[in-house]
Amino acid sequence: MKRFKKAIKAASYVCHYKANLENLEAEMRRLEDRWEIIERKVREAKDHGEQVEAAVSHWRTDVDGMKQSIQKLVEQRTAKQNMHCFVCSCPNIKWRYRLSKLAEERTEAVKKLTQDSHFDEISHHKPPPPELEFPSNENYVTLNSRTRILKAIMDALNDPKVNMIGVHGLGGVGKTRLVEEVRKRMRENGTFKQAPLATVSKNPNVKDIQSKLAGELFFTLDAAADDKIRASRLWDKLSNGEKYLVILDDIWRDVDLKAIGIPITEGKTGCKVVLTSRNEGLLKKMKVDRSFQIAELSELEAWAFFKKKVGDSVDSPELYPLASKVCQHCKGLPVAINAIGAALEGKPVHAWKNALDKLESCMLTDIEDIDPSVFASLRVTYDMLHSKDAKSCFLTCCSFPDDAHIPIDDLTRHCVAGRLLAPTPHTLDDARNAVHTVVDTLKSYSLLSDGREGNIVRMHDVIREIGIRIACDEKAFLIADGIRDWPETPENGPSYSVISIRSGNINQLPDELSYPQLHTLIFEYINYPRLKVPDRFLSGMKKLTVLVFNGMCLLPFPSSLGQLANLRMLCLNQCELGDIKMLGYLKTKLEVLSLRGSNIVALPPEIGQLTSLLSLDLRECNDLSVIPQGVIFNLTKLEELYIPDRFDKWKATTDKKQDTSSNVSLDELRSLNDQLTTLHIHIPDVLLLPKKQLKFENLKWFKISVGSMFEYSENFPGTSILKLVGIPLKDEFKALVHKAEVLYLQELEGLKRVLHDRADGEEFLNLKYLRVKLCLDLEYLLAKPKSVSFSNLSVLIIQSCGNLRYLFSLSCARGLLQLERLEIKSCPMEEIVGFDGEEDEDELTKKICFSKLKYMLLQELPKIISFYPQKDKTASTDRNFFPHSQSLFNEKVYMLYQYPFILF
């Protein structure tokens, strides 16, 4: 019976061999279709700097193998057919059987590959290199006592028996700076794959901590998801077989690590945890394996640090007695030494005497876990801010959340709307310059520090706590985090001028409140679902000039908001909104309107009545599809316009009269040409541009994409970003090309005229990131001798530029002093540095030094011979230079690598 079945099956193979081959061909066509789709997505992912998922890479390898196998089968079939035709005309039964059987087997394998091609994700974001992940920790103090503890902590983290350690000490002693240095060094030496840090503070919120950790791990959590679901996702990420170091900074109470989603490793791989706190007992309660105390600086170390901050002038006979007493009052706490030292640097003797008097009389003892001397030194530092603008700006920074990254732009809008700058600036641009000046003063006094990006500042948690105390005493501020109920107004207390509350614990807002002197209200709800604002909630705040709601529900829109006749700044960020036409009632005074991240679908025509508006921010309003015609045209004072990256519903320019039922056209931007300094916009098609040229040359800050929108992965740092894809380089954009910090140029027509003909040595001085792809009219990037163009360039990516002969002239290459990342892919060049226009013999013999280069990728360069073809002087009278054979990098090229060099 078995033999009979086998015979039937064999006969079937012979009889149906053509059908089996046709089935195989049909399935291969389906697989090829899926292959093309996956390959396109992979190319796009790589273009965006993403890393292809392992499952996708394995599938592509399997498909490659299958295609080769099928190709061999086809070749065998063709060869057999040719031979059979040549020898005889009888069918080859054995050959048909074997071919048909293989075809049937391959068909099933091909079907499975096609079925397996529907991936959830094609790629994921690459983590940034450590030099970008951890900027220079400039405030880290290198002192013997700290160096010993730093080494001890790193040794403990390398101990397989230690999974959780604690770091404790007084507020302002330097715990955060120390653990930031620990994670930086342990990431750089490869001990851990990633080292996310989240500041917990007094009022921990699980959702907030989860979001901070996820952000540092380069993935997002659904804001609306349950805490347990979010914890599960975070747990899976941190227990995926890699080694992670999680740092929870500034904890004040017991933290449930499992509820957050932090797994403690018990094996060779997994997650280790560092906790910092002012409370040693809390760390014991958390059952840390090792605990390290960060003590105050010794008298000798404190004096050395103080001298480093103030200068050697303190050794003079007049200052030394005063300086030594001032230093003693700081009690060895770096935050106090830093602030008072910065304030007294370069000051005359009488200023030192005055500061010492205040230090001896200004002692406050009721701020939890902060030494009174710290309050005294910071209070004296604040008093020494002679500028009222600086004091106001400092107190405004205290109203931002603990450990907040404070954008200078947000700070500027607060200062403008609150009339905190004197004299009142005429424009936002003037105000931004004034705020930058004030911020520089606060940094010089060590009351603020730099953030991770150039337009961001931060405030130490101890400085913020003391600033809040000063603000409450002097300016009637109420600043509260994590509260469960809306605070009651004291019967005999101050009439608040500023209220700033950040909480996820309040379940309901009062129906109506009375704050007759309140000019600023900031309320951020950090939980989900969003908290509803009652209709009359704002009716007792007639003097309100600044209102910030984050994460709130304004459905229906509260009528009391439309009655705020003095309102100059309104931020409804991440809010649930419906019909907001009532905002038209604020037309006389409103200067700043931000709806960033809210769910608005259509702007009402009434927004066009806000004729005093200076800034309109619609970023991340991804549902926005309607901006009525005439709205932007009527906002004639607008200086800042932020349109969502994904808004593409522009109408073509017409000569018809305004019709609010129709969408906006780009022609309306011409009404803003004179004063517009900031523009974020996506233009899907260059044909949408009006015939009369837009004047983009007045822009100072911009994020503009034309032809292709910014992808989520393209989160470029910088304030002037331009992406141009598949368009002729029109005059509107040429000025922006030369102003940009970030340039993404793909398939451009006319780029040669901009790069080759106009680069006169003073162009592209702001440029830090440059990506050029499929620009076929380029022969080189820059060749003019003695040029200082690109002198600030740190990232350069060149791909598929088919006519490139080389990238740089010799002198230009020597000017790339800031270059950190160089990628060249799929280009026909033989050399990277060329010699066009170089005549100076001495220049030709000097070395090229890329001293900051950390990563270099040279890929698919079939003609590459050398990086820098060395030239030798000849003894001939005409002093010609001739190349000779050499390795890719000769002795004339000098590079320092901290990260990989890849060549393939």
Instruction: List, for residues 841-865, the tens digit of each pLDDT value.
Output: 555 556 677 778 878 888 888 888 8
**Domain boundary pick from 432, 460, 488:** 460
Q: State residue 846's pLDDT score.
A: 64
The pTM is what?
Answer: 0.79
Cis omega before residue 423 (within 30°)? yes
Q: State residue 60's pLDDT score.
A: 87
Say if 452 falls within a structural domain.
yes
The answer on 206 and 57 residing in a single domain is no
Residue-averaged pLDDT of the chain? 83
Q: State residue 493's pLDDT score.
A: 67
Q: State residue 569's pLDDT score.
A: 97
The answer on 266 and 171 residing in a single domain is yes
Instruction: List, for residues 510-524, the tens digit of each pLDDT value.
Output: 999 889 999 999 999
Instruction: List, for residues 639-681, the tens digit of each pLDDT value.
Output: 999 999 989 999 987 655 555 567 899 999 988 867 899 999 9
Tokens 């404190």 -> residue = 302
The answer on 689 and 625 residing in a single domain is yes
The answer on 756 and 738 residing in a single domain is no
Q: How confident is the model at residue 691 (pLDDT cuts 50, 70, 90)?
A: confident
Could you tell me what percent of the chain has a pLDDT over 90?
A: 41
Mean pLDDT in residue range 270-279: 91
Assigned token pair, 636:
């004639």
Q: Which residues contact 15 (CB under 8 A, 6 or more apart)?
A: none
Residue 391 has pLDDT above 80, yes or no: yes
| Whether 34 contacts 114, CB under 8 Å | yes
How many of the other CB atoms lie within 10 Å of CB of 619? 16
Range of the domain at 112: 1-120
Say if 858 falls within a structural domain.
yes
Mean pLDDT in residue range 278-301: 92
Say if 668 falls within a structural domain.
yes
- Give the whole-angstrom CA distance, residue 736 versus residue 843: 33
Tokens 């004296």 -> residue = 380
Tokens 């006749």 -> residue = 565
The answer on 754 and 737 residing in a single domain is no
The answer on 272 and 167 residing in a single domain is yes
Assigned token pair, 551:
């994460």
Q: State residue 564's pLDDT score.
A: 94
Assigned token pair, 116:
């397996």
The answer on 197 and 106 residing in a single domain is no
The answer on 285 and 250 residing in a single domain is yes
Instruction: List, for residues 743-758, the tens digit of each pLDDT value.
Output: 999 988 877 766 665 5
Mean pLDDT in residue range 396-409: 90
Cα(first)–Cα(last) distance of the chain, in Å? 58
The answer on 619 and 486 residing in a single domain is no
Q: State residue 552's pLDDT score.
A: 95
Domain count, the chain: 6
**Domain boundary pick from 261, 293, 325:** 293
Q: By C-alpha distance, which of 804, 751, 747 is closest to 780? A: 804
Which parts of 362-427 fold into alpha helices (H)?
A: 372-383, 388-398, 408-417
CA angle 369, 371, 373 (to 5 degrees): 160
